[in-house]
Structure 1
Amino acid sequence: MDTQDACDLRFGQVGIANVRIRRVDAAALCEELERRVRAAPQLFSRAAVVLDLSHLMDLPDDGTVDALLEAVRSAGMLPVGLAYGTSDVEALSRRMGLPLIAKFRAAYEPADGGSIAPPAAPAAPVAAEPPRRAEAVRSEPAPATTPGLGAQHFDGTVRSGQQIYARERDLVVTGTVANGAEVIADGSIHIYGHLRGRAMAGAQGDEKARIFISDFRAELVAIAGHYRVFEQIPKDLEGHSVQCWLDGEKLLIARL
């Protein structure tokens, strides 16, 4: 008789996108998400998403929520649960057999050198906010803030499929971030080579975080969940040194 356990059960963190519902319209939701998947399939196709109902005046009934979930699936994304909310949302999740998920990018468990395994699906920020194309701005940004801990350093290339996370601190990358690679920090991010992949600063919601890049060719940049996806880098920014910061809910990018 085989006495070996049938499985191992472990808890970890994965990248999950938050689809914030602003109006109850399954057809419009499907159309909007399909547009985003077409624009950036490497990020959003089959991405794990949480349905966030917190911005609705009234909680939809079970049938309506089921239609919204089906709209997400039809668009090419994979709903995995509901965003944590009220007791009514908890009751809804129980009736529908869905988990409640309180954090979308909680603390990762770094492996050696700060590198962690790639998430089960590409991470994406709040999907209800439309991605905005990069634009140069003339205003002088305020100085960046620095977390209490010293910056975490990564030397060399962050390879495609690799993910680096700096918990409660800035991240400094002295090499290139390749296409399909991802760098994340709770503080600011400094990249002294090419950024061809994705950079996400302020991962725990720090809206004062910044991203500094020596050679800008990014797939995506994000600060505190506000993001921009780039199908084509504007000519005035491509290959240049830039910095990214938030002005309210708008993510701004300017040449250094």
Structure 2
Amino acid sequence: MCKQSGTPLQDDLFLEETPTSSVTEKVAKPGPAVELKGSVFTLPVLRLKRSDLGAIEEALSERISQSKKFFENAPVVLDLEHLETPAEVLDFAALCSLLRTLQLVPVGVRQGSAEQQLAAVEAGLAVLRGGSVQETVAAESKDKKTGEVVKQVVVPSKALVIDQPVRSGQQIYAQGGDLIVLAPVNAGAEVIADGNIHIYAPLRGRALAGVLGDASARIIVQSMEAELVSIAGHYQIFEERLPDELFGKSAQVYLQEMALTLVPLR
């Protein structure tokens, strides 16, 4: 007769006794919930000259009507450096409300006084420390020993060279120097440089030179078919086809008396 081990529950039922394992299973720890990384974004800058909300709305409405698609839900930075009354503390809550009704998204301020920056923070805006004008001209200082004037020349960084096509959605940034592109910049792509931009191929996307404020920067293109060009924050959007004298032609873009100028290369 075969004996069954276990604890009887009923005549025909037994509860098997299973020994408890002493091995503890290791549970994999989840990865971090977030990661903080640096990146570069091109943001439109709204250079405020007056605090009159009515005047701001009128000027912006006219500008936005020319390029509705570009400005729709666009993040903007408020530049306070050029206000007619530099010490005036703006009503940032009212200003932000106005901008949102125009489908703009205010994200921060730059420049301005400590009081202005504090008021901006209280309205939920960030204070951006970067984006200032980069001095590229020669500076002068006196040598302590001889008293003679010594010229300190800023030497630009080595140019960044790209020899592959820049695809839609890609962004290339040449920090501290020029950008040279030897392949097409496709529609929806963006090339950015602190210095000049040279494109020895068609430009069908966006090109932004002198992004830190270098007004002497230039964009030189073998075949101009751009969506947008910008020099030191002065930009032009091309929602329609470029004029025949520029479309598909070699061209350069530069600032002349702080106005954006596009001319074919001869």
- State if a TM-score over 0.5 links the two structures: yes
Structure 1 residue 36: deviation in Å?
A: 3.7
Q: Which amino acid aligns with 1:246?
A: L
Q: State which of 177, 182, 188 in structure 1 corresponds to 2:185.
A: 177
What does residue 46 of structure 1 align with? 73
What does residue 13 of structure 2 align with? none
Q: State which of 243, 250, 256 in structure 1 corresponds to 2:259.
A: 250
Q: Which amino acid aligns with 2:260?
A: L
Q: Distance in 2 between matches of 1:251 and 1:59?
A: 30
1:241 matched to 2:241: no
TM-score by length of 2: 0.71
Question: Aligned pair in 2 of structure 1 residues 170, 69: CA closer, same or farther (>3 Å)?
Answer: same
Deviations 1:192-229 (A, max 9, x none): 11111111111222222111111111111111112222
Q: Distance in 2 between matches of 1:163 and 1:209?
A: 19
CA contact (8 A) 1:200 1:222 kept: yes
SS of the residue aligned with 2:213?
A: coil
Q: Distance in 2 between matches of 1:106 and 1:42?
A: 28
Q: Which amino acid aligns with 2:109?
A: L
Extract unaligned runs of 5+ from structure 2.
1-26, 135-153
Q: State which of 19, 33, 38 in structure 1 corresponds to 2:46.
A: 19
Q: Distance in 2 between matches of 1:224 and 1:238?
A: 23
What does residue 209 of structure 1 align with? 217
Of structures 1 and 2, the one with the larger relative CO (CA 8 A, separation 6+) is 1
Structure 1 residue 171: deviation in Å?
A: 1.1
Identity of aligned residues (%): 39
1:79 matched to 2:109: no
Q: Distance in 2 between matches of 1:106 and 1:161?
A: 27
SS of the residue aligned with 2:168?
A: coil
Q: Which amino acid aligns with 1:245?
A: Y
1:193 matched to 2:220: no
SS of the residue aligned with 2:199?
A: strand
SS of the residue aligned with 1:68?
A: helix
CA RMSD of aligned residues (A): 2.8
SS of the residue aligned with 2:177?
A: coil
TM-score by length of 1: 0.74
Q: Distance in 2 between matches of 1:82 and 1:52?
A: 6
CA contact (8 A) 1:53 1:59 kept: no
Question: Aligned pair in 2 of structure 1 residues 20, 166: CA closer, same or farther (>3 Å)?
Answer: same
Q: Distance in 2 between matches of 1:174 and 1:98?
A: 40
Q: Distance in 1 between matches of 2:116 and 2:35?
A: 30
Q: 1:86-97 residue pairs with structure 2 within 5 A?
A: 86-97=113-124
SS of the residue aligned with 2:214?
A: coil
CA contact (8 A) 2:133 2:213 kept: no
CA contact (8 A) 1:158 1:175 kept: yes
Higher alpha-carbon Rg: 2
CA contact (8 A) 2:87 2:113 kept: no
Extract unaligned runs of 5+ from structure 1.
108-145
Deviations 1:130-183 (A, max 9, x none): xxxxxxxxxxxxxxxx96333211113211111111122211111111111110
Structure 1 residue 105: deviation in Å?
A: 8.3
Q: Distance in 2 between matches of 1:106 and 1:23?
A: 21
1:102 matched to 2:110: no
CA contact (8 A) 2:89 2:115 kept: no
CA contact (8 A) 1:147 1:168 kept: no
Aligned residues: 217
SS of the residue aligned with 2:73?
A: coil
CA contact (8 A) 1:198 1:221 kept: yes
